[in-house]
Amino acid sequence: MTTSVYDFLYLISIILFIIGLKRLSSPDTARNGNLVAAGGMGLAIIISLVYPLGVEQNNYGWVAGGIVLGSVVGITAAKKVQMTAMPEMVSLFNGLGGACALLVSLVEFYNYPEGVSLLNGQIFTTLFALFIGSISFTGSLVAYGKLQGFLRDSLTVPYPRIVNALLLVAVIGLIIYIMIMPTADFNWALILMAVSLIYGITFVTPIGGGDMPVVISLLNSFTGIGAALAGLIYNNQVMLVGGILVGASGTILTILMCQAMNRSLFNVIIGGFSSSGGPAGEGREQIVKEVSPSDLAIELKYSSKVMVVPGYGMAVAQAQHTVHELESMLEEEGVDFKYAIHPVAGRMPGHMNVLLAEADVPYPKLLELEEANKELTTTDVVLVIGANDVVNPAAKDDPSSPIHGMPILEVEKAKSVIVLKRSMSTGYAGIQNQLFFGEKTRMLFGDAKASINKLKEEVDQA
Amino acid sequence: MDALITFISENLLMIYILVFAIFLGTEVISKVPTVLHTPLMSGANAISGVVIIGAIILIRQADPTNYFILILGFLGIALASINVVGGYAVTDRMLDMFKNKKKKK
């Protein structure tokens, strides 16, 4: 009788999850959606604390301790993290969720009654959750490390495809072996966990940094599936539905991102980007032209339309506020100032939008790829601030280029192209950009923030 | 084979829910603008922290002297709480920026 009341309340939290997720997918309702989903989570947690289990010892002290500790750490991390480091943070959080799925399934296996056959769906679900949780945990940590910069892209496993295939075979073999064993031997579960943890590492290491957002999204959906499997173990609908919602939406997001880069998911996982060969056109004598901030300032002031292409370089230099200030100054001079946002600019789709929103850049000034390409033909000056691959014409002209086929911002259509960059180093895809040597292109070397500050001064004086 | 059939018949309702949830999740997200990919990923990530319920159930059923389970469960709850609380907080921070601008405009 009472359990049905609790089950009904669980249903309400499922509804809140669905409404929340739905609202998260439109800009006007997104914030509200996030709060609705959080409310659903709060409700679900409260119900799980009082739900009659039949054999409860409760141990509320342990539960409260864990929740308090986790909440304090979570809030502190969320408040302190820089907006530029958002993708890393999401990946790290995701890994922790995966770790929880891993721990739950491990204990569940440990608790399994002695002497009962292991060949059943319950054990399979538990072992599968253990596997998925482990990959999600170590995979997310590797993704975090790569984005944070303390794990180099060059750090790879030898023969990653063979190693990964072998590990996967080992995992399947272990799951089958454990299931046909007469009794549960905890050590075998630990071995399965160890192999799965290693697989998580070798699965993500070969993948290039440019593809990291896709991987994070994929791992996110893995954690969702892990949570759903744990829900199957406990016959808990909230965990099942919540987990599957994340699993399904994560998969869709992953596919959308792959489409934005014109690459297949398979291609991403195999790691085509990072293994790509040397830069095109290397060895040829190429001349780059530089521009001085004062010349550029005058040019900007007297042009009628300026477009900014922001990239990761702007993000790391934290230059979005300075760019916005430059925007206001030039607008006062009657310059039409807009931003061209490539879907995969930065380290995550929508990353640039978030950063520019942080700097109070008005929404209508942000143009999406197609719109921007149309307007670029009538643009006088394009400022490419720390973006590389998203403006690389090789994506259109050079079929041998690893990024061939990826839609790009066609900045060379504009009358003049200025590239703000720290050095001539290549972008994330590791390929040299012919754009930098183009007729209309001039370079402004230096840290993006410092350069734009200088530019502001010059505009002021000009 | 028998094991599989028993599993299916015992969990038929859950399997129904599973299938419907997959369709629902796909439908709910299918047309999201690029602008929102990051916050959406982060928000969905926070929901995946729902696995915390598993850890709570686990601890509530554990023997108060079984420190192995208690400690692993405690860790699970703490890690999942970071995911849940941090995830929602970070998403809110990101979305806050979109909202502010609307007001000014």
- Residue A389 designated active-site: yes
Alpha-carbon distance of A403 to A416, in angstroms, equals 24
Nearest-CA residue of chain A relative to B29? A249
A56 CB neighbours in chain B (<8 A) are 60-61
Residue-level pLDDT at B55 = 96
Q: What is the pLDDT of residue B104?
A: 41
Q: Bridge partners of A442?
A: A418
Whole-angstrom distance, CA of residue B53 vs CA of residue A101: 10
- Contacts with A248 from chain B: Cβ below 8 Å: 21-26, 29
Contacts of B27 (CB under 8 A, 6+ apart): none
List the single residue in A with minimal CA-CA distance to B81.
A70
What residues have CB less than 8 Å from A422, skipping those under 6 apart?
Answer: A313, A386, A445, A446, A447, A448
Catalytic residue among A211, A389, A397, A460: A389
Q: What is the pLDDT of residue A283?
A: 38
* CB-based contact, A82 to chain B, within 8 Å: no
**What is the distance between the alpha carbons of residues A83 and A369, in angstroms, rounded to a whole number?**
23
Q: Is A223 on the interface with B (CB under 8 A)?
A: yes
Is A45 in contact with B57 (Cβ distance < 8 A)? Answer: no
What pLDDT does residue B102 have?
44
Length of chain B: 105
Query: What percent of chain B has a predicted confidence (pLDDT) above 70?
Result: 90
Cα gap B45→B40, rounded to integer Å: 8
Residue B27 has pLDDT above 50, yes or no: yes
Question: Is pLDDT of B46 > 70?
Answer: yes
Q: What count of other Cβ atoms lies within 10 Å of the Cβ of residue A232? A: 24
Residue spans of chain A under pLDDT 70: 1, 153-155, 209-210, 262, 270-287, 347, 425-431
What residues in B contact A20, CB-CB < 8 Å?
43, 47
Identify which of A241-250, A300-309, B19-28, B73-82 has the greatest average pLDDT: B73-82
Tell me if B69 and A226 make a contact (CB, 8 A cut-off). Answer: no
Indicate yes or no: CB of B81 within 8 angstroms of CB of A55: no
